[in-house]
Structure 1
Amino acid sequence: MKYTSLIILLVFAITFAACDGRDRLEKTPQEILKETKLLDSFSTKTVFIPQTYTEIKTDTILNNGFRIKIKTYSDLENNLVDSIKIDSITTKTFYREFISEVTVFKDEKEIFNKTVDKSFFNTENESLNEDLKMMTLLSVAVENSPDLALKELEEAQISFYYNHIKGDYKLQYTLRIKPNGKFIVSNFEN
């Protein structure tokens, strides 16, 4: 009994002496992180564009009796992902989607009130779905360029500019709203 506690103490001392990490001495830090399944957490960089919630409000009165209110904000739930791997570091860039709430008045009467996002344009023209998959909203602008034949603009025009996340491919969608509230969507490639 007297020697039992001494033997147990000796076994613990040998066990702890054997766990000094000599087996990892010849391994690189990356190999050690792979063994412990921690490499992924150290080799992935995550970026959000924009980083935080963003909101832009526009309230414009045109000389032809139209008043346009636009609230454009970043959707924190939906985004596009672009992944790039350089050396052992993977950078994931999340491009947040944007939503525009558009309200148009003609002579103080509300004629148009819709949420405009990618699904709005896809609903209007299903062939645009493939074009918009990897695009993010760049800007929204109220246009005031009159028809040269009429010398006056008889509609409200709002342009939505989309940019491809991987290149210089751009799309412009123009929402043209007539005084009776009917609208037409036209698109242009840049």
Structure 2
Amino acid sequence: MKHLLALFIIIIIAFTSCEGRKTQSQALSESIAEFKKTATFETNIYIPENYLEHQVDTLMSNGFRVKIKTYSDMSSDVLFSKIKDTINYQTHYRNFKFDIRVEKEGQLIFEESYDKHKANKLFGYRDDFVSDSPFYNFDKLAILQSIQVDDEPSPKNKVLIDVMYAIPETNRTALHTLFVNDNGTINMVHVTQN
């Protein structure tokens, strides 16, 4: 009877220890998978990271002097997000402001400062473009890519300034030319877009 009781206890222990528990590696794998589903980490990236300023002073052969100052707007940016391996990468592309000052033979004829809102008006970027329009979302997502004096043709009575806006992380760009004539009026011509 003693042996039967010992056999019975061994069988009970064997059945209770094999209750379908997971191995340690299975439990760890499931725990990691569950953590990845619920936890996300956020990384903020700013481009440019710090304040950036650039000034150009151009004296042209036709008597015009053009000063252009561009500087990063530290309070305005365009946000792009990507999630990769439970990390949410938040990339903030800072908008740029720019100032244009034009003189003709020492006399100030044009001076204006532009931020994102004012540039949208100047270039005709609106929020009501349809999704297949080449300027769709330029009002929200495009940032200043470059601005430069176009001194190639050097017309006698005007200054040409090329301005390019682009949507980051895409190949969408728009190139505009600003014409400032010798009486200080400004006109804009859209040149190309991708």
TM-score scaled by structure 2?
0.72
- Equivalent position of 2:8 in the other structure: none
Question: What aligned pairs does 1:69-80 form with structure 2 within 5 A after superposition?
Answer: 69-80=67-78
Instruction: Report the equivalent of 2:193.
Output: 189
For 1:162, the aligned partner's letter is Y
- Cα pair 1:141 1:160 within 8 Å, conserved: yes
2:155 is aligned with 1:166 = no
Deviations 1:151-190 (CA, angstroms, capped at 9, x unpaired): x442111111111113111111211100000010112313
Q: How many residues align?
A: 156
Q: Unaligned regions of 5+ residues in structure 1, if any?
A: 1-24
The one-letter amino acid of 1:189's match is: Q
Q: Report if the CA contact (8 A) 1:159-1:175 is conserved.
A: yes
Gaps of 5+ in 2: 1-26, 128-134
1:80 corresponds to which letter in structure 2?
A: V
1:162–1:172 CA contact under 8 A, matched in 2? yes
Task: Report the Cα distance in structure 2 between the residues aligned to 1:68 and 1:45, rounded to whole angstroms.
Answer: 40
1:117 to 115, 118, 122: 115
Q: Deviations over 1:43-69 (max 9, x none)?
A: 111110001000001000000011011
1:144 aligns with 2:174: no
User: 1:144·1:153 contact (CA, 8 Å) conserved in 2?
Assistant: no
The residue identity in structure 1 corresponding to 2:175 is Q
Distance of 1:99 and 1:121 partners within structure 2: 9
Contact 2:36 2:86 in 1 (8 A): no
Q: Residue 34 and residue 59 in structure 1: after superposition, are their counterparts in 2 closer, same or farther (change >3 A)?
A: same
Moved more, 158-167 or 52-61: 158-167
1:1-190 to structure 2, matched below 5 A, reads: 28=31, 39-40=39-40, 43-124=41-122, 126=124, 128-130=125-127, 131=135, 132=138, 133-146=140-153, 152-187=155-190, 188-190=192-194
Whether contact under 8 Å (1:146, 1:153) holds in the other structure is: no
Q: Is residue 155–residue 176 contact of structure 1 (8 Å, CA) maintained in 2?
A: yes
Percent identity for Structure 1 against Structure 2: 29
Cα separation, partners in 2 of 1:140 and 1:124, compared to 1, 3 Å = closer
